[in-house]
Amino acid sequence: MVTYRTSMQIVRDLLTVTEESGASGINVTALLTKANLSHSRLSKFLDNLTGAGLINRIEFDGKNTFVLTPKGRQYLETYEKFQNLADSFGLEL
């Protein structure tokens, strides 16, 4: 049986990978690989995440780099707490 990730799980994965890249940020190719998404899906998620202020897009020499914002870090912490609460009740997100 194949299990698919929900949109919330994909957002968590993208934010986690971006956070792990540190202050230097992460480029699109690395995000594609580490988050296991197609380019078109990744573009939609990145537009939503930058629009919500969870990550910042930094353009340098025509290349985009993404860095997690404090708001994105707070989202990840809250998501983890909520995930732990749901797990304690045997629920899946």
CATH number for the domain spanning 22: value is: 1.10.10.10
Domain count, the chain: 1
State pTM to two decimals: 0.90
Residue 27 lies in a domain: yes
Residue 92 lies in a domain: no
Q: What is the pLDDT of residue 34?
A: 94
Mean pLDDT of the chain: 93
Say if residues 56 and 50 touch (Cβ distance below 8 Å).
yes
Mean pLDDT of 7-13: 94
Residue 38 lies in a domain: yes
Helices 7-20/39-51 angle, 10° precision:
80
Report the alpha-carbon distance of residue 50 to residue 45 in Å, rounded: 9
Mean pLDDT of 61-88: 94
- Residue range(s) defining the domain that contains residue 78: 7-84
How many degrees, rounded to 5, is the angle at CA 71 between CA 16 and CA 66? 50
Predicted confidence band at 18 (pLDDT cuts at 50, 70, 90)? very high
Q: What is the pLDDT of residue 2?
A: 73
Residue 65 lies in a domain: yes
